[in-house]
């Protein structure tokens, strides 16, 4: 496992205790239960990230077909508050996007596409939970031709669950999101006024809550860069939000994790302030994990790296997440076949890492060897060679 993800003993638990030989014949619910027993709540995000990386880059062939199916089932349910897709809590799962992408990608083996599709659309009935990975693979082998031949739009629709009424989801902003915005305004104002348990968070005398984020404000921030004055106003409203109040819920934040990439790309300073505030709220840690998953899963961009740098420099973000982001970026550089595009991504990552080195960030300590290997492999790119010299200079000092 990569540094900063799982310790060796944790990696052994994942491969042996959870996905060992017995998992191929065990019911999927039992394997998922073993995962939950092996990894306490605070460690599950790291374990799931390690699992997703292993599924993507299992060059050593550590996982057989049945074990991969069991791993996909684990990723599908671990972060779900409710296992019924029709109530859309699957949208809260930070690994939903990864699983959906695998179903839609023609690069994914057909049998795996069919197996993941079956898991996502099953409703997590007793039938699917009691199935063994081997049995699910047998079923998937029979249904794989139908999945392969299915119209992409219909396939996508079959795994895109509508969110529960009154909850804002901005995954499709720019498509369905604009049409739904009006439906959210009433729910938004209601959430902004009332907290669970009947405790009011509204300003005395019925005045407008100064930190209330209307659906129009949210949509504006997700659609395009705001003018500096509007951006500063939104930052001020987020700063004023009482995130430390135990009654302050994820709905009151205004931004669901599925919309975070759009906020990062269009208004990175706003995204930085939002992440800082949520990081300091103990009751919002589940939302924070979803934010981290969305950040790590973003395409490489200047704005995404700008947000990461701001959080790294003020030590807001855990080292594990920094390491995972860098590891993912390096993997993306390796995965690009087009030389021009590959060189562009290598330059982007190298300049980002140079800025962290100059800021003397302690968070790079665990990743030095991997970063140096990256620099050597892409030494033809001037920025990577410069980064390597910077690291060597620090090492010798």
Neighbours of 58 (CB within 10 A): 14
- Residue 164 is classified by DSSP as P
- Residue 16 is classified by DSSP as I
Q: With contact defined as beta carbons under 8 Å apart, do 325 and 306 qualify?
A: no
Distance CA 126, CA 105 (A): 28
Number of H helices, E strands in the chain: 21, 0
Q: With contact defined as beta carbons under 8 Å apart, do 309 and 272 qualify?
A: no
For 343-391, what is the HEC assignment? HHHHHHHHHHHHHHHHCCCHHHHHHHHHHHHHHHHCCCCHHHHHHHHHH
Token couple for 176: 């369905």
Mean pLDDT of 115-134: 82
Question: What pLDDT does 242 receive?
Answer: 77
Token couple for 45: 């995000």
How many Å is the Cα radius of gyration of the chain? 22
The answer, yes or no, to whether residue 67 has pLDDT greater than 70, is: yes
Question: What pLDDT does 185 receive?
Answer: 32
Question: What pLDDT does 204 receive?
Answer: 36
Question: What pLDDT does 269 receive?
Answer: 94
User: What confidence category does residue 49 fall into, taking pLDDT thresholds of 50, 70 and 90?
Assistant: confident
Question: What pLDDT does 106 receive?
Answer: 83
User: What confidence category does residue 288 fall into, taking pLDDT thresholds of 50, 70 and 90?
Assistant: confident
Q: What are phi and psi of 87, to 5 degrees?
A: -95, 5
Look at 226-230, 254-258, 283-287, 379-383 and tell me which has the smallest mean pLDDT.
254-258
User: What confidence category does residue 183 fall into, taking pLDDT thresholds of 50, 70 and 90?
Assistant: very low
Q: What are phi and psi of 278, to 5 degrees?
A: -70, -35
Three-class secondary structure of residue 150 per DSSP:
coil
Q: Domain ranges in the chain? A: 8-158, 163-286, 299-397
The answer, yes or no, to whether residue 173 has pLDDT greater than 80, is: no
CA dist 62 → 52, 189, 331 (Å): 13, 50, 19
Question: What pLDDT does 180 receive?
Answer: 34
The answer, yes or no, to whether residue 349 has pLDDT greater than 80, is: yes
The answer, yes or no, to whether residue 97 has pLDDT greater than 70, is: yes
Q: What are phi and psi of 130, to 5 degrees?
A: -90, -5
The answer, yes or no, to whether residue 381 has pLDDT greater than 90, is: yes
Considering only CA atoms, which of 178, 163, 284, 272 is closest in space to residue 222? 178
More confident site: 235 or 84: 235
Question: What pLDDT does 359 receive?
Answer: 84
Q: What are phi and psi of 80, to 5 degrees?
A: -90, 130
pLDDT tens-digit readout, 188-198:
333 333 333 33
The answer, yes or no, to whether residue 345 has pLDDT greater than 90, is: yes
Three-class secondary structure of residue 194 per DSSP:
strand
Neighbours of 338 (CB within 10 A): 9
User: What confidence category does residue 91 fall into, taking pLDDT thresholds of 50, 70 and 90?
Assistant: low
Q: At what angle do helices 268-279 and 285-296 cross, to 10 degrees?
A: 140
pLDDT tens-digit readout, 125-160:
777 888 899 998 888 888 888 888 887 877 777 776
Mean pLDDT of 317-344: 86
Considering only CA atoms, which of 127, 111, 128, 110 is closest in space to residue 119? 128
Percent of the chain with pLDDT over 90: 18
Q: At what angle do helices 110-121 and 96-104 cross, to 10 degrees?
A: 130
pLDDT tens-digit readout, 201-247:
343 333 344 445 666 777 788 888 989 998 998 888 888 877 777 77
Helix, strand, coil shares, percent, the chain, to 5: 70, 0, 30
């Amino acid at each position: 496992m990569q540094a900063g993800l799982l310790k060796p003993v944790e990696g052994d638990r994942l491969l042996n205790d959870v996905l060992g030989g017995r998992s191929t014949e065990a019911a999927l619910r039992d394997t998922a239960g073993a995962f939950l027993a092996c990894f306490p709540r605070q460690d599950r995000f790291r374990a799931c990230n390690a699992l997703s990386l292993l599924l993507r880059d299992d060059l050593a062939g550590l996982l057989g077909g049945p074990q991969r199916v069991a791993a996909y089932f684990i990723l599908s349910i671990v972060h779900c508050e409710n296992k019924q897709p029709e109530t859309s809590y699957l949208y809260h799962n930070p690994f939903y996007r990864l699983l959906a992408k695998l179903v839609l990608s023609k690069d994914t083996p057909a049998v795996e596409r069919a197996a993941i599709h079956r898991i996502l659309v099953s409703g997590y009935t007793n039938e699917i939970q009691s199935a063994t990975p081997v049995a699910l693979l047998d079923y998937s082998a029979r249904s794989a031709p139908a999945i392969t031949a299915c119209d992409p739009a219909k396939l996508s629709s079959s795994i895109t669950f509508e969110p529960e009424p009154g909850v804002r989801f901005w995954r499709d902003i720019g498509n369905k999101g604009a049409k739904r915005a009006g439906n959210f305004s009433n729910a938004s104002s209601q959430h902004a006024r009332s907290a669970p348990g009947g405790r009011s968070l509204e300003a005395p005398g019925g005045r407008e809550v100064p930190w209330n984020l209307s659906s129009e404000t949210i949509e504006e921030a997700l659609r395009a860069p705001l003018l500096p004055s509007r951006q500063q106003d939104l930052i001020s409203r987020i700063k004023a939000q009482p995130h430390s109040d135990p009654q302050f819920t994820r709905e009151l934040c205004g931004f669901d994790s599925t919309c975070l990439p759009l906020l990062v790309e269009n208004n990175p300073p706003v995204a930085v302030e939002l992440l800082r505030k949520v990081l300091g709220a103990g009751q919002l840690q589940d939302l924070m994990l979803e934010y981290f998953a969305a950040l790590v899963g973003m395409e490489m961009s200047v704005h995404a790296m700008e947000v990461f740098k701001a959080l790294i420099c003020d030590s807001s973000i855990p080292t594990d997440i920094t390491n995972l982001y860098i590891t993912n970026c390096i993997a993306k550089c390796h995965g690009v076949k087009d030389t021009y595009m590959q060189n562009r991504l290598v330059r982007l990552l190298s300049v980002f890492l140079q800025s962290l080195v100059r800021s003397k960030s302690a968070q790079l300590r665990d990743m030095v060897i991997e970063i140096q290997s990256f620099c050597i492999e892409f030494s033809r790119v001037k920025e990577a060679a410069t980064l390597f010299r910077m690291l060597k200079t620090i090492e010798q000092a």
